[in-house]
Structure 1
Amino acid sequence: MCCGGVDDEDGDVADTQSFIGVNYGDQSSELPQPADTVNLLKTTTIAKVRLLGSADQSMIKALENTNIELVMGLDNTEILWVASGPDAASQWVNSKLLPYYPASKIIIITVGNEVLTAENQNVISALLPAMQNIQNALNTASLGEKIKVTTVHSMAVLGQFSPPSSGAFHVSFVDAMKDLLKFQSAHGSPFLINAFPFYEYKSNPTPETLAFCLFQPNSGQLDSKSNITYMNMFDVEVDAVRSALNAMGYKDMEIVVAQTGWPYEHSRDEVGPSLDNAKAYVGNLINHLRSNVGTPLMPGKSVDTYIYELYDEDEPMGPSSISDQSFGIFNSDSSPLYDAGLFKSSQNPIPPSPSTLSCPTLAPRSAGLWCVPKPDGISDAQLQEIINSTCNQKGIDCSPIKPGGACFEPNTLASHAAYVMNLHYQNSGSNPWECNFAQTATITTVNPSYGGCVFPSGSA
């Protein structure tokens, strides 16, 4: 396990387990006091906390002398500043880390979240210099060997992940990844990935896919190259990352799942989120980790995994849907939304049987999948930028949204953006990560076509 663990000496499951972590974000209107959150954590088997965004100093202090390991980080907006020179990095370390260490067991610093896929070239170029500057600041403080510096990636950094044995980084990220991995390998830093089987189900909402994503009984998926039959999507995603790292020559680099979870409420036209499904996913994931079976390519060792997230964040920084704000596992009064087996007093939840799993029926529903803008929270400037950048891509035909085209009317930015978003999504293989556009897009099963304007669709 990365940077040690905090299991009890006798291995009693009732105590914290080094591979179970949780994400904590502060973008909420009803957060409990940090001390109350720490008291809640002490009743669970959670051994690690990852602070989302920039370091929340009140939580860092509250976690002092608790033996709970801590991942803290720089927000994407801080990367350019820290990359500007050693003084900025030293200022960050001196003000946000040193006052609390070692009373707070800080083990990892994450420099940004999903930077490579955020499509901001300036920040992408600054990522490695920022990581190097933070590392040098830690070295100066004699902490370079004790605290690891890394960054967090989305699954979109992979060009493909199925079958897992063919996992490889997307060609557009290979050069940047080479430099990042070289740095991380030199300092023994883990590779952090956000892995959400929920989005795989969302892109292919069938009962079999749901069972596969929720660790429920299913027929499995055969990787013909390795001759391994996979029984859940979590293992597929993690092993695909393992294959991608192996292909780059980093067979010993540790993988950490920085975020994974399942929402319990859904937006209009969205399938998958429900309380039963969230309980099934998180509960079965915890059981899977506790089994120590590992993944087929990494057997006998549970990957350090941080559940997303402790509380709902209802004040997101950008456009979001109801499901985006519904990943919390606890209410603000510390009561659980569902029992996933994290309490020391209740570690073996009985997830819903497959027959009771919630798979919302939406009407009208067409046999297809489309990528469209989220219903609200997107500015005209964002829509225009999406149209401009997408229409400049090779193979994207935007003539239907030009004057005289079948999709020109209604002549609105939202309508035109929907057409080009979907065209990009379909041309990119209908992969769910291609329907992102800086978190302004969502996948729908409701056909947005109208009149003579036909939106291509992916199979549902």
Structure 2
Amino acid sequence: MVILRWTSTFFVIVAAFLQLIHFAYSESFIGVNYGQVADNLPPPSETAKLLQSTSIGKVRMYGADPAIIKALANTGIGIMVGTSNGDIPSLASDPNAAQQWINSNVLPFHPASNIILITVGNEVITSSDGNLMSQLLPAMQNLQNALNSASLGGKIKVSTVHSMAVLRQSEPPSSGMFHPQYIPTMKGMLGFLSSTGSPFAINPYPFFAYQGDPRPETLAFCLFQPNSGRFDSRTNINYMNMFDAQLDAIRSALNSIGFKGVEIVVAETGWPYKGDSNEVGPSVENAEAYNGNLIAHLRSMAGTPLMPNKSVDTYIFALYDEDLKPGAASERSFGLFKPDLTMTYDIGLSKSSQTPATPTTPVTPAPKSKATGWCVPKTGVSDAQLQANLDYACSQQGIDCGPIQPGGACYDPNTVASHAAYAMNLLYQKAGRNPWNCDFSQTATFTSNNPSYNGCTYPDGST
């Protein structure tokens, strides 16, 4: 009996240890959207294995498909489930309907399936159905009451998801404000979020901002690539990427109506890898740059200028293409993975120790290895471009450009080329040493020759 009890305890400890290993490899601030408007998706069980082979820590569903929720049981992956916009009237008018929704979509699965958030509808406030706006808060309250009655009120949050169109103004970020006609509804909803500790969920898409302003400098600003930035004279902050600017505009809007304590979650953001011939911006290169640099930015824990030193939970759109979606080709081309579970392009999400199982033959390519050596400017790059690279690198949080300041070990020779080389390599090494960290709008390259000289040491990843 003693041996049997010890054996049982041992297996419990081992199981707990294995779960800790999963949590160690996953990153809770990186999520993915799991849309299902498609007829070629792999089985949920295979998707669960795929997700466990990555550092993705959370999944957002647009509904509450029981097969998917069950498949994610005991994985530790956080699950965001949602009600449709069409569910809102009944949820708002009938507390029993809300209780039944919880009974059907939450209670049979929790806690084995780690449901963390219920979103009530999607982009309701800016939808064409004005009646839904007044019904949104009652629906959220009824679902919260149903959770409370099941003793889950402190464990599962209730929110809703907004488009950036809720803002009347977003530039500069410090002037961010909601449209006046939305503010009465916003205040009621934000009061609910504040009292329950629930997040404000938003869908920022730098891709759409670029489509509205398709200049090269706008593309670099949207893709986290070297650019001159956009200066906010009210805060003296020079924003270096659109993602931070959009989030801080939301932060400013929330603060302006008295809700500084409500946290923000990015429910959707992404970039299509393919589009119609008349669409501006979709390409594999741009999608890889946006999502890869976004993940590097999140992993840096730099945060945004108004929300520093933390990563906003961010759900990338999307896990798979949705081939039945209407509209432009880009709408069907956001998938990070193909239906056969291979990567559309590599943004450094895979765990090197695992590969996903597939229904057919496993063909997942190995993750791209970390690039080796040093990142330096290509020959022939203009001083103007080098200066832009230098300004960009030194503006990033955690990058110490002191050695190239007067008196620093790398100040001499005092040339733009020398200073840019040091700063570009430093950013590459600090950002994760991935190939896309040494791009700088295609003005950088790798070298195996150590560029260090005299007392000036260029980091190489080991220092």
> Per the shorter chain, which TM-score range?
0.7 to 0.9
Is structure 2 residue 299 aligned with structure 1 residue 214? no
Contact 2:58–2:78 (CA under 8 A) maintained in structure 1: yes
Q: Which residue, out of 33, 40, 47, partners 2:50?
A: 40
Per-residue CA deviation, residues 404-433 of structure 1 (Å, 9 max, x unaligned), is: xxxxxxxxxxxxxxxxxxxxxxxxxxxxxx
Is structure 2 residue 165 aligned with structure 1 residue 151? no
Residue type of the alignment partner of 1:186? S
Give the 3-state SS of the residue equivalent to 2:322 in structure 1: coil
Does the C-alpha gap of structure 1 residues 10 and 89 become closer, same or farther in structure 2, counting only changes over 3 Å?
closer
Aligned residue in 2 for 1:325: 332
Contact 1:115–1:124 (CA under 8 A) maintained in structure 2: yes
Q: Which residue, out of 167, 171, 182, partners 1:162?
A: 171
Q: CA deviation at 1:172?
A: 1.6
Aligned residue in 1 for 2:279: 270
- Count of residues in Structure 1 that have an aligned counterpart in Structure 2: 349
Contact 1:191–1:256 (CA under 8 A) maintained in structure 2: yes
Give the 3-state SS of the residue equivalent to 2:25 in structure 1: coil
Per-residue CA deviation, residues 54-86 of structure 1 (Å, 9 max, x unaligned), is: 211111000000010111010111111211211
The within-5 A match list for 1:35-434 is: 35-52=45-62, 54-316=63-325, 319-345=326-352, 346=367, 349-351=434-436, 353=439, 355=441
Residue type of the alignment partner of 2:89? L
CA distance, structure 2, for counterparts of residue 61 and residue 282 of structure 1? 28
Larger gyration radius, structure 1 or structure 2: 2
| Greater helix content | 2
Does the C-alpha gap of structure 1 residues 188 and 7 become closer, same or farther in structure 2, counting only changes over 3 Å?
farther
CA distance, structure 1, for counterparts of residue 220 and residue 200 of structure 2? 28
CA distance, structure 1, for counterparts of residue 95 and residue 202 of structure 2? 27
RMSD value over aligned CA atoms? 2.1
Contact 1:7–1:18 (CA under 8 A) maintained in structure 2: no
Q: CA deviation at 1:354?
A: 5.4
Does the C-alpha gap of structure 1 residues 75 and 197 become closer, same or farther in structure 2, counting only changes over 3 Å?
same
Residue type of the alignment partner of 2:329? I
Per-residue CA deviation, residues 82-133 of structure 1 (Å, 9 max, x unaligned), is: 1121110011000111000000011100001100000201211211111011
Q: CA deviation at 1:13?
A: 9.9
Contact 2:30–2:314 (CA under 8 A) maintained in structure 1: yes
The percentage of aligned residue pairs carrying the same residue is: 58
Contact 2:22–2:76 (CA under 8 A) maintained in structure 1: no
CA distance, structure 2, for counterparts of residue 60 and residue 160 of structure 1? 38
Contact 1:239–1:296 (CA under 8 A) maintained in structure 2: yes
Q: CA deviation at 1:320?
A: 1.7
Aligned residue in 2 for 1:409: none
Q: Which residue, out of 30, 41, 48, partners 2:40?
A: 30
Contact 1:7–1:16 (CA under 8 A) maintained in structure 2: no
Contact 1:164–1:223 (CA under 8 A) maintained in structure 2: yes
TM-score calculated relative to the size of structure 2: 0.73
Is structure 2 residue 31 aligned with structure 1 residue 21? yes
TM-score calculated relative to the size of structure 1: 0.73
Q: CA deviation at 1:14?
A: 6.7
